Structure formats: structure tokens, C-alpha cells
Structure 1
């Protein structure tokens, strides 16, 4: 790429990443053609001839949800969301990939609402062969209810990367060689739902849903699925050594998020694992 100096390296790397990321974020999904309603009936609404905007609503009777018609085995999935505003305590907006069956695999984003003015909790998890328990939770560095933001899952045979506006917040690496199962054989569909979970979602269930604020509404737009996991991964790994998952720029971004915005990590929960942490936490 013709890097001539340290400053030039930084500038050109940023330009390269920007171009590559823009390429991977060409949105082309259609909520009419690509998805089907799972529950909630008329609480799910689709808008526009191109079908690029969808809303889910929750009231005291029911929530709502949808799933993709297609299954995906690896790739990059992008969705822009604007979360429930105001007093969203007790509500959960879930956006995840999942296969079916008792030994299903799953890659989760869950957005746990809060009382007005308090931050959302972004809950992430990875299930392999029907077992989860790999939770990491974050706050966000912006208000996710004011405008749309892009939430992405980049999944290939070596890793899963959770991204918010192209910033990596979590990496789950393939450590099958160390005896840790990794989701790589079961195709998954994309799911999303808005539902009431006030028994646990907000402050451990202490804050209940205020139904006088219903209906609660979450907004979706610009879905994109890129099954070419190799090209979708390039921006994050270009320049990394074989022992590194992310390139230098994205390793710095990941450290920044985990230092300032992570609020829970199962790999540091001594009370939960008094006999020792799970194997993958050692790497």
C-alpha cells in the first residue's frame, strides 16, 4: 500500500479500513422478502416499497418478532436499530442468530431497557451445542434511542466478532483445539423480538415494566447479510499476525470498549466459577 512513514501508515490504514468497511456495509435487505413474522401479528409493521424499515411493538397483551427466511453458515450480518425510548424498563429487544434443536448454536445481542435517562445494557452471549453461559455485558457510548446505529455479527470458522457501528466490542475465538466447542456446523437464521422480561431484565427484576407507557416500539432498517466471510473479515484482520485475531487498529478499539464500557464478563466472575474459569477464558 506504499506506507512511507509511521504517520503515513496510520493515515493509510484508516483510509483502507474505511473503504473496506463501507464496502461491507452496502445494505440490500428487504423486510418483506427476507423475513417472516414469528409472533405478534399486527404489532410488527413494514414500511416502504423497498421494505427497508420495520417496527416491532410490545403491549400488555404481547410482544412481536420476526426471523429470516434464509439460513446462514458464516458471514457478516448487519442491522440498524433504534431502541425503545423513554422508560423502557422491563423490555428486551433481542437480535440474534440461532439454529434449531436441543443442541442449537446461537449468537446473541440483547438490549435490556431501563428507566428514563438511565443507560441500556447490551447483553451478549454465545451458545454452542445447546449451552450458553458466556455472557458479557456493556453500556454504550451513545444514546441508542436517539437515532439508528449498526449492530453487526461477523462469523467465520475462526472467530465471532460483535460490532457496534463497526467498533468491535467482543471477540469469541475458536478454541476447539483446547476442547472448547465452537459454532461452525449448524446454519442459523436471524431472529429479532421485542418482549417483556421484567422478572429479570432491569436491575435483576427490581424495576418492572410501566404499562402506562405502552406500546413500546423498536425500529429496524437497512438489514444486510454478506455470506462472503473472507472479504467481510479482511478489514478487521489485515495486518494481524497468525497469533492475532484483529489488526492493531481494531485491537485498540476493542480494548477501549472493554476498559470503559464493559460491566460484566463471565471470565472474571469468581463467585460464579469458584472452581476455576471456563477453558476459553485462559486464552
Structure 2
């Protein structure tokens, strides 16, 4: 059934309540005016359409960024993003969760720009207690600059799932029993930014930002943030069962994405780990 979401301090606009794998789910689209704040870059961050659309820009003076006003511990976060079009070499557009402090936790989507005609690289990473180095990278199966596409993070005590248009591309499981730190004790906010990283972003820094193409602009809409304190709750569209695992269709989609579009996986980089792969790499097929 559908119900209107009430206005106030929380997220609003619309809420859909239904049964998904036997669990109750509620999700509200945020209003950028009410639920986020521009954190840097001045007027390079703009909010339009009554709070339904946000843009970030980068010029030769500065980039820009914004964050959610609320933080949460476990849940699902969604954002539709239309990336910088044309020659985006040297630029990085981000969408991620992060706590604060030197021992912070973080769950990353980073979109590495490229020269016109070449695909973006989607860079993912998971930090726990200030330590990352868990990178997986992908090409996308569409042009992310022509239309909006949805990027999602499901964060639960048992695992983290990265999704693109509701297709799972990566699962990072909780392997604390094997001594692998997992982000589960620090609440996080949503952050997004657009900035210049031409010292490393495109072909290891070989291709620099073409400032004659500035300003570079990315667009955001349909921000949804559904928190959950329950360890066995499911989330709309996630293809997650009550046992906190991907269902058969989700596993097939994950294998498809990793087989055809993954271009780097730290768990197969033997040169990087000459003393042996990290323990989580040895236990998980994904």
C-alpha cells in the first residue's frame, strides 16, 4: 500500500510501504534544501526545482561538495546521478558514506573521468577503522553522462552491497571472525563531491584536466536514505532475502557484472600482496 510521507525534520515527499521478502520497507525521497547542505565550493553547488535537483561544478578555482544533514547506522542509500559529460579527464565525482575522525569508516563510489569517447571507471572501496585498500573497479554498461542512473549502497551488519540500477556489482561480507575489520560501530553521513584529481584519476595521472572545458558539472536527484536498526530487515529493490544473502537472480546479476565489467580486483592482485592475499579474499567467491 502507499502512504504520504509527513513533512517535518525527516525525509519526505513520498513513501512506499510494502512487503519485500517478508519484511516491511519504508523509503522517502529527500528534499535537497531540507535534508542536505552544501559543504564547500560556494555557489558551485546549486539546488533547483524546489529541492528535487542538485548540481555540483568544478572550475579552475575549486570543486564543490554536499552532505546529508542526518547520519545513520545501517540502512540503504540511493542516488540518481548524471555524470560530467564530454572530456572529463582528471575529474572525480563521488558518492559515499563516511564517519568522522582518523579511524573513520567509509563506503565509496568514485567515478573517474576520462577523455571524450572513453568510458568512465567506477572505483569502489571500503574503509574500516581508517584502513581501506579494498578497491574494485568497473566499466559501466551504459553511458553515465547521457541520462541519470541509480547508485545504491546497502549497509548491514552482515555485509555491504554496491548496486548500479539495482544490479549488484560488489558484496563485501563481514569477516570479523577472520580478523577483518568491518564498519559497524560508527554512524555515517552521505557525502558527494566533484573535484580535480588529475595527479592520479585518469590513466594514473598521465592525462590532465583540460580547463578550457570548465566548468564541469554533475547532477543529482532522487536521494533516498532508509535507516534500519534491525539486522535482518530487507530493502526495496535490493534482492536481499531475510537470511541477508542475495537471492538467485541477484547472484546471477552479480556474476554477470563482475565477469564482463570488472577491470580491477584487489583480491586477485598478487603483485600488491606478495605475502598473501587479505583473508577476506580467500573466503568469498565474490
> TM-score, normalised on structure 1?
0.88
Cα distance between partner residues in 2 of 1:36 and 1:91: 22
- Residue of structure 2 equivalent to 1:255: 255
Deviation at 1:235? Answer: 4.6
C-alpha offsets along residues 13-61 of structure 1, whole Å, 9 cap, x if unaligned?
xxxxxx849x969551011111111110000010022x01000000000
Aligned ranges 1:2-151 → 2 under 5 Å: 20=20, 27-49=28-50, 51-151=51-151
**Is there any run of 5+ residues in structure 1 with no aligned partner, and where?**
1-18
Contact 1:154 / 1:233 at 8 angstroms: preserved in 2?
no
Give the TM-score taking structure 2 as reference length. 0.87
Q: Provide the rounded CA distance (Å) in 2 between the counterparts of 1:140 and 1:207.
A: 20
Q: Partner of 1:237 in structure 2? A: 240
1:24 to 1:196, Cα distance in 2 relative to 1, 3 A: farther
Compared with structure 1, are the counterparts of its residues 65 and 234 closer, same or farther at alpha carbon in structure 2 (3 Å cutoff)? closer
Partner of 1:10: none
| Partner SS state of residue 209, structure 1 | coil
Equivalent residue of 1:107, what SS? strand
Return the alpha-carbon distance in structure 2 between the equivalents of residues 144 and 263 of structure 1.
17
> Superposed, which structure 2 residues align to 1:210-229 within 5 Å?
210-228=210-228
The structure with the greater share of residues assigned to helix is 1
Q: Distance in 2 between matches of 1:252 and 1:52?
A: 34
Inter-CA distance 214–94: structure 2 relative to 1 (3 Å threshold): same
> 2:107·2:125 contact (CA, 8 Å) conserved in 1?
yes
The structure with more strand, counted as a fraction of residues: 2
Deviation track 1:169-226 (CA, whole Å, cap 9, x = no partner) reads 0000001111111100100011000000000000000000000000000000010011
The change in CA–CA distance for 1:222 and 1:27 in structure 2 (over 3 A counts) is farther
Query: What residue number does 2:6 align with?
Result: none
**DSSP 3-state at the match of 1:256:** helix
Q: Aligned partners of 1:130, 1:96: CA distance in 2, in Å?
A: 15
Change over 3 Å in CA distance of 1:201–1:234 after alignment to 2: closer
Per the alignment, do residues 185 and 91 of structure 1 end up closer, same or farther by CA in structure 2, a change over 3 Å counting?
same
Asked if the contact 1:25/1:78 (under 8 Å) is kept, the reply is no
CA contact under 8 A between 1:198 and 1:208: conserved in structure 2? Answer: yes
Structure 2, gaps ≥5 residues long? 1-18
Preserved contact between residue 234 and residue 241 of structure 2 (Cα < 8 Å): no
Question: Partner residue of 2:9?
Answer: none
- Counterpart position of 1:15: none
Equivalenced residues, count: 261
- How many Å apart are 1:72 and its aligned residue? 1.0
Deviating runs (4+, > 6 A) in structure 1?
Answer: none
Q: Residue 198 of structure 1 aligns to a residue in which SS?
A: coil
The separation in 1 between residues aligned to 2:246 and 2:32, in whole angstroms, is 32
